[in-house]
Amino acid sequence: MERNTLTQNTSFQLGEFDIIAAYFKDLTDQDGVALGIGDDAAIINLPLQSETQLVVASDTLVDGVHFPSDASACQIARRALCVNLSDMAAMAAIPRWFTLALTLPREKANRQWLRDFSAGLAEVALEYNCALIGGDTTAGPLSITITMLGEVAAGAGLMRSGATNGDGIYVTGFLGDGAAGLLATTEINSLSSIPINVSERLLNFFYQPRPQINAALKIRYLASACIDISDGLVADLGHICESSGVAASINTAMLPIHPDLKEHFEDQCHNWALFGGDDYQLCFTVPAADLPAIDDWIFHGELDATRIGSIVSSSDDNPVVLIDGCKSIDQLRGFDHFVL
């Protein structure tokens, strides 16, 4: 981590290197790390065999955009790392290491905030066996950028471009919980009639979504294409369609929606499942010949997934997602930071 503006204010009690040593240095211990935090860069050991490929992904979370301003430091850390781990799942990669670029307002750069942030980061990192190996700290509006590095067997990484006509379309887990969780964080007063256990489940899901690493490793040799659902099912499935040159047809009656949402958000839950985003489940496609194997895993509880439709031929130059037979091209974009 490089020296920068956090050390330039003499009234600031915790310097950059104090912060690193006190709150982040212990997160760097993992097999494969030859040199962790403390130097100008990290050194990691890669296998000598050429059968392994390195997978790299970065995400930035900004205060007031990706999490509410009143979120706790622990909640922010958990969400930041889980969101990045979900990108590893989308590629069927095993997460190994990550870097952290933390931009922190001076009023938050106190021991309690940093202790809580570090604890939340450590909890998720320990669960997924990934190590912090470096990054940067600076003063400014709160934002967190994590770059995740993972490993995948050569040629086994899942991509968006492999879907073909006749493939089945599946999603893991439930859809719509992310959008409902966002509502729980921003309009808590409007949920006063909702049982506390429901609102707590949604809040927990929003701040700590479950990256589908194990599911991805289970399907990696059968799935033809895969993406994680961050911007909404229709938008992200649309990315698969665009990359693969196909279209998709989904059946809303098959969408896996948690009973909590069906009971308490009957009018919104299907729209959330289709367009809401923040679910961080996997959407993947499977060739027709391999559908029985996937369905057998689901039947025997070895895979938590639901078939929701199929890949079909694209009828024009603009691949679309069909919802119950109707085009949804107007809502394919999903969330976009630069489009109002």
Q: Is the per-residue pLDDT at 226 higher than 90?
A: yes
Mean pLDDT of the chain: 85
What share of the chain in percent tops pLDDT 90?
A: 61
Which two three-digit tokens encode residue 91? 């590629």
Alpha-carbon span 139 to 310, nearest angstrom: 48
Mean of the pLDDT values across residues 157-164? 92
Q: What average pLDDT score do residues 325-335 get?
A: 58
Asked whether the predicted pLDDT for residue 245 surpasses 70, the reply is yes
- The pLDDT score that the predictor gives to residue 36 is 59
The bridge status of strand 282-286 relative to strand 143-153 is unpaired
Determine which of 180-189, 237-246, 279-288, 290-299 has the lowest per-residue pLDDT on average: 180-189
Quick one: pLDDT band at residue 3, thresholds 50, 70, 90?
A: very low
* DSSP H or E stretch at residue 260: helix 259-264
Q: Contact at 8 Å (CB) between 321 and 246?
A: no
Percent of the chain with pLDDT over 70: 79
At 251-274, the pLDDT tens digits run 999 999 999 999 999 999 999 999
The encoded tokens of residue 162 equal 């492999």
pLDDT in tens, 16-28: 556 666 666 666 5
177-186 and 196-207 helices cross at what angle (nearest 10)? 100
Map out the domains of the chain as residue ranges: 5-153, 168-331
Asked whether the domain spanning 168-331 has the same topology as the one spanning 5-153, the reply is: no
pLDDT band at 83 (very low <50, low <70, confident <90, very high): very high
pLDDT of residue 12: 45
Arithmetic mean of pLDDT, 149-158: 87
Whole-number pLDDT of residue 337: 42
For residues 236-241, give the mean pLDDT.
94
Band (pLDDT 50/70/90 cuts) for residue 190 is low
Residues 6+ apart with CB under 8 A from 280: 82, 83, 86, 178, 209, 210, 211, 212, 228, 229, 230
Contact 248, 329 (CB under 8 A): no
Structural domain 5-153, CATH architecture? 2-Layer Sandwich (3.30)
CA distance 159 to 176: 24
The β-bridge relationship of strands 247-250 and 321-323 is parallel
Burial letters 310-330, b for 16+ CB under 10 A, else e: bbbebeeeebbbbbeeeebee
| Per-residue pLDDT, 9 | 42
Given pLDDT bands bounded at 50, 70 and 90, which one contains residue 146? very high
| Terminal-residue alpha carbon distance, the chain | 36
Within 13 Å of residue 108, how many CA atoms lie on the same side as its CB? 23
61 near 143, Cβ under 8 Å? yes
> Which tens digits make up the pLDDT trace of 44-70?
666 655 678 888 888 899 998 888 888
State yes or no: pLDDT of 79 exceeds 80. Answer: yes
Give the Cβ contact number of residue 95 at 10 Å.
Answer: 24
Q: Of residues 199 and 49, which shows the higher confidence score?
A: 199
> In the numeric block, which tokens belong to residue 53?
């490929």
On whether the CB atoms of residues 340 and 285 are closer than 8 A, the answer is no
CATH domain 168-331 topology: Phosphoribosyl-aminoimidazole Synthetase; Chain A, domain 2 (3.90.650)
Provide the whole-model pTM.
0.84
219: left (phi over 0), alpha (psi -120 to 50) or beta: alpha
Provide the pLDDT confidence category of residue 156 given band limits of 50, 70 and 90.
Answer: confident
CA distance linking residue 160 with residue 236, whole number of Å: 10
Measured between alpha carbons, how far is 331 from 317 in angstroms, rounded to an integer? 17
Planar angle of CA 307, 258, 87, nearest 5 degrees? 65
Q: Is the pLDDT of residue 103 over 80?
A: yes
Determine the Cα–Cα distance for residues 194 and 41; give it in Å rounded to an integer: 49
